Amino acid sequence: MRNKKLLGGAAALLSASLLFAGCGSRSEPAATATGGAATKTAKIGVIAPLSGDLSALGLGIRNSVDLAIQEANKANAIPGWKLELAAEDDQATPDVGKNAATKLSSDDEVVGVVGALNSSVSQQVIPVLQPARIVQVSPANTGPSLTMGADFLTAPKRPYDNFFRTCTTDLIQGKVAAQYLLESGIKQLATIHDKKIYGQGLVGAVTENFKAGGGTIVAAETINPDDKDFGPVVTKVKGANPQAVFYGGEYPQAGPLSKQMKAAGLKVALMGGDGIFDPTFIELAGDAANNDLATSVGEPVDTAESAQAFIAAYKAAGFEEPYAAYGAQSYDAAKAIIESLKTSLPSAADAKSAREATIAGMAKVSFTGATGQVAFDEFGDTKSKVITIYKVESGKWATVKTVDVSS
């Protein structure tokens, strides 16, 4: 009797495993043109924070890439090949990200990588993937130096030919944010950043454009990424009497900073970039978040016509986590790699030998994706330069306006 129960349980487990294999837990294999199993495997890696404070964003990235892979396999996009997901947790830490890149680059089946979330992580990842000739497409890195070098303002020069991105840069985001503040009557602005590449670069872009528009930076302060008590910096900023505060960094610090600002009597709006545009910011700030502002890349995904098929497919796939702020950009990043693989893989003996051609093929990629038209310029940056401004109203992010500076 016990043996029969065990056999029945095993059969049930087998049936369940087959069922859940198609529900977002892993990518499905493709069939060949003749209906048989694919004979070769190529992997698309993901490097993102899958644990820790920024995991809400990282898991959305991973799942969206997984969805693009599943769809390609079901459509038999590359006959004779199946695509697989190889996701690595970078914990939003540069050294961990570098180790993840080393692991992926040593896998001969890896032909592309989507990530990272943080520009500081990609600064360590790109130099590992580039010598291995693995294409990298970030859905979230906005630091201009990654594609245009350290002298991006005066002498832009592309440092890595394997790096691309589906989000626009802080040069655009900072300009739009500064213009909005000035148009709103803000003439005295305080800035705070977390000393990381993203935060520092974004504040630099806002500062330059704000001053150029006639505004004054009345205080320029910094915090440490792991700070919890922002009392000292709030005191300094409050004494400068700003009409608003711009923060360069991410929501784990921005939320508590907003809350502590308002509690200390600094009752002005905190504005940030795409790094704070997440429901978690509002959860951390509480009621203090109302009237706070953020810019983020692209059109609002929930209302963009180009994103509706992605949203429906993501929901149907059964992922436990939301696609979050960079889901659409991640989906398009994976699809861009897949578009190039359609040319590089068919004639390749194995996945590794297709790496060089995959990088070369990215220059010709052009398709309508979840974020709109997906194509890259000579630096590897997206040709779509769209920024949306959001405001917290009644405990939720509400769209203020979308600005397209692509032309």
pLDDT for residue 251 is more than 90: yes
Q: What is the mean pLDDT of residues 373-378?
A: 97
pTM as predicted: 0.88
pLDDT for the residue numbered 290? 98
Q: What is the mean pLDDT of residues 202-209?
A: 97
Range scoring the smallest mean pLDDT among 6-20, 105-119, 260-274, 378-392: 6-20
Instruction: Determine what percent of the chain is predicted with pLDDT higher than 90.
Output: 89
For residue 39, name the pLDDT band (cuts at 50, 70, 90): confident
The token pair at 270 is 């905190």
Q: What's the per-residue H, E or C state across the chain?
A: CHHHHHHHHHHHHHHHHHHHCCCCCCCCCCECCCCCECCEEEEEEEEECCCCCCHHHHHHHHHHHHHHHHHHHHCCCCCCEEEEEEEEECCCCHHHHHHHHHHHHCCCCEEEEEECCCHHHHHHHHHHHCCCCCEEEECCCCCCHHHHCCCCCCCCCCCCCCEEECCCCHHHHHHHHHHHHHHCCCCEEEEEECCCHHHHHHHHHHHHHHHHCCCEEEEEEECCCCCCCCHHHHHHHHHCCCCEEEEECCHHHHHHHHHHHHHCCCCCEEEECCCCCCHHHHHHHHHHHCCCEEEEECCCCCCCHHHHHHHHHHHHHCCCCCCCCCHHHHHHHHHHHHHHHHHHCCCCCCCHHHHHHHHHHHHHCCEEECCEEECECCCCCECCCEEEEEEEECCEEEEEEEEECCC
pLDDT for residue 356 is more than 50: yes
Domains along the chain with CATH numbers: 35-168+303-376 (3.40.50.2300), 170-297+387-404 (3.40.50.2300)
DSSP letters for 230-296: -HHHHHHHHHT--SEEEEES-HHHHHHHHHHHHHTT--SEEEE-TTT-SHHHHHHHGGGGTT-EEEE
DSSP letters for 159-173: S-TTEEESS--HHHH
pLDDT for the residue numbered 95? 98
For residue 37, name the pLDDT band (cuts at 50, 70, 90): low
pLDDT for the residue numbered 406? 85
pLDDT for residue 17 is more than 60: no
Q: What is the mean pLDDT of residues 274-295?
A: 97
Q: What is the mean pLDDT of residues 239-265?
A: 98
pLDDT for residue 280 is more than 90: yes
